[in-house]
C-alpha cells in the first residue's frame, strides 16, 4: 500500500470523468499512477453511473486514486465540479478516460502555467492514435458561425492559412476556424475539455463549470467566463496528447445529439443578445424540421415502435418543444 501524498506536496489534481469507460480506464490508470507520487499527482475519478466493468477496474486502484461514484449520469460539468471540490492541488488537469498524456507532458503544462500567471488554461496538441492532428481549438460561437455550422457551411470553408491573403479573407473572419497547427504556443478562445490544465485560483474566481450544461459547450462557457475575468487560454504545440474521440459519448448517440443542441441554446441565452438567441433558435428549428422530414420520409414504410428512426424523430420533437 502506498503512502498518501501529503496535501502540501500535491501539485496537480487529475480529474477523470468516466461513463461506461472500463476499457479506457484499464489502459490509462496504470501509466498515470505508476509515478504519481514523484510528480505530485492527485488522481480523482468521478464515475457517472456506469453499468459496465468500471467499478471492478477502479477497485484495483483504490490505494492510488480517489473515487466518486454517482448513482446516475449527472453530466460532465457537474462531475468535474464534484472532483474539484475534493481536490487540493493548485492546478487541475481535466483528462478524458480515452486520452493519453505522459507524466512529462503534464509537468510541461504545469511549468507553462507557473511562468504565465495571466493564463488560466493550457492545452496540448491532440492527435488521433494514428498520429493525425485532431481538431481541438475553436472560436467562441457567433450567430454567423453557428448558422454556418447548423447548415454545414463551415465544412466548405478552407482554414485560416489558406484564405488569410485571398479575396475570401472577409469570410475567414466571419467563419473563423483555426489553422491545422500553429508554429508555437497560441492564445485561442477555447480548446476541447478532453485534456486541459487549469489554474485553480482562476477556476475559483469564476465559480467552476456551469452545471446547467450536461454535455457540450461547458468548456466554451468556462473559457468565455475566464476571458471576461481577464485570463487567457493557450494551445501549446510542443506538448502532445493522444485521444480516441468520444469513446463514451458514442454509446449514447441520440442523447448526445439532443444535449449538443440544448447546450447550444443555453450558451446563446447566456452570452448573446435576446435577438441573436431568437435568431439562432429559429435557424436551429428550421434545420431540425428539415432533418425530421428527411428521416420521416426515409422511414415511412419501415417504422415500427422499436426502430432507431422513431427514437430519432422523438428527439427532434423534444428539441422543438424545448
Residue ranges of domains in the chain: 7-138+178-248, 143-174, 251-321
Spatial CB neighbours of 140, under 8 Å, sequence gap ≥ 6: 189, 190, 220, 223, 224, 271
How does the average pLDDT of the chain come out, rounded? 84
pLDDT at 304: 46
pLDDT-based confidence at 108, cuts 50/70/90? very high
What is the per-residue burial (b if ≥16 Cβ within 10 Å, else e) of 139-153? Answer: ebbbbebbbbbbeee
pLDDT at 1: 39
pLDDT at 246: 55
Q: How far is CA 167 from the centre of its chain?
A: 34
- Neighbouring C-beta atoms of residue 131, cutoff 10 Å: 8
Spatial CB neighbours of 64, under 8 Å, sequence gap ≥ 6: 2, 29, 33, 36, 43
Residue 208 — left, alpha, or beta (φ > 0 → left; ψ -120 to 50 → alpha)?
left
pLDDT at 308: 52
pLDDT at 164: 47
CATH class of the region 7-138+178-248: alpha beta
Its pTM stands at: 0.85
CA dist 309 and 313 (Å) reads 6
Nearest to 193 by CA among 175, 208, 180: 208
- Neighbouring C-beta atoms of residue 318, cutoff 10 Å: 12
pLDDT at 69: 97
pLDDT at 322: 63
Decide the pairing of beta strands 232-243 and 186-188.
antiparallel
Is the separation of the CB atoms in 243 and 126 below 8 Å?
Answer: yes
Which of 147-156, 161-170, 184-193, 241-250 reaches the highest mean pLDDT?
Answer: 184-193
Amino acid at each position: 500500500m502506498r503512502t498518501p501524498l501529503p496535501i502540501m506536496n500535491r501539485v496537480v489534481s487529475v480529474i477523470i470523468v468516466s461513463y461506461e469507460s472500463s476499457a479506457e480506464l484499464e489502459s490509462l490508470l496504470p501509466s498515470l499512477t505508476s509515478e504519481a507520487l514523484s510528480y505530485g499527482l492527485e488522481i480523482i475519478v468521478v464515475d457517472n453511473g456506469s453499468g459496465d466493468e468500471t467499478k471492478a477496474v477502479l477497485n484495483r486502484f483504490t490505494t492510488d486514486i480517489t473515487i466518486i461514484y454517482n448513482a446516475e449520469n449527472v453530466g460532465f460539468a457537474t462531475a468535474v465540479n464534484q472532483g474539484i471540490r475534493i481536490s487540493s492541488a493548485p492546478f487541475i488537469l481535466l483528462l478524458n478516460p480515452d486520452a493519453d498524456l505522459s507524466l512529462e507532458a503534464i509537468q510541461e503544462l504545469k511549468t507553462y502555467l507557473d511562468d504565465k500567471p495571466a493564463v488560466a488554461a493550457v492545452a496540448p496538441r491532440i492527435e488521433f492514435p494514428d498520429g493525425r492532428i485532431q481538431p481541438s481549438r475553436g472560436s467562441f460561437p457567433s450567430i454567423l458561425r453557428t448558422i454556418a455550422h447548423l447548415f454545414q457551411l463551415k465544412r466548405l470553408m478552407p482554414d485560416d492559412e489558406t484564405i488569410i491573403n485571398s479575396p475570401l479573407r472577409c469570410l475567414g473572419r466571419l467563419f473563423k476556424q483555426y489553422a491545422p497547427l500553429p508554429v508555437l504556443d497560441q492564445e485561442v478562445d477555447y480548446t476541447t475539455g478532453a485534456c486541459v490544465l487549469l489554474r485553480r485560483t482562476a477556476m475559483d474566481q469564476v465559480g467552476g463549470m456551469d452545471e446547467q450544461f450536461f454535455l457540450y459547450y461547458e468548456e466554451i462557457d468556462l473559457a468565455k467566463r475566464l476571458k471576461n475575468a481577464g485570463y487567457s487560454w493557450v494551445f501549446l504545440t510542443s506538448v502532445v496528447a493522444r485521444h480516441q474521440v468520444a469513446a463514451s459519448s458514442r454509446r449514447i448517440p441520440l442523447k448526445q445529439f439532443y444535449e449538443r443542441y440544448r447546450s447550444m441554446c443555453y450558451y446563446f441565452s447566456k452570452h448573446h443578445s435576446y435577438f441573436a438567441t431568437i435568431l439562432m433558435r429559429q435557424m436551429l428549428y428550421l434545420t431540425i424540421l428539415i432533418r425530421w422530414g428527411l428521416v420521416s420520409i426515409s422511414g415511412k414504410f419501415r417504422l415500427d415502435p422499436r426502430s432507431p428512426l422513431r427514437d430519432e424523430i422523438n428527439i427532434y420533437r423534444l428539441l422543438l418543444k424545448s
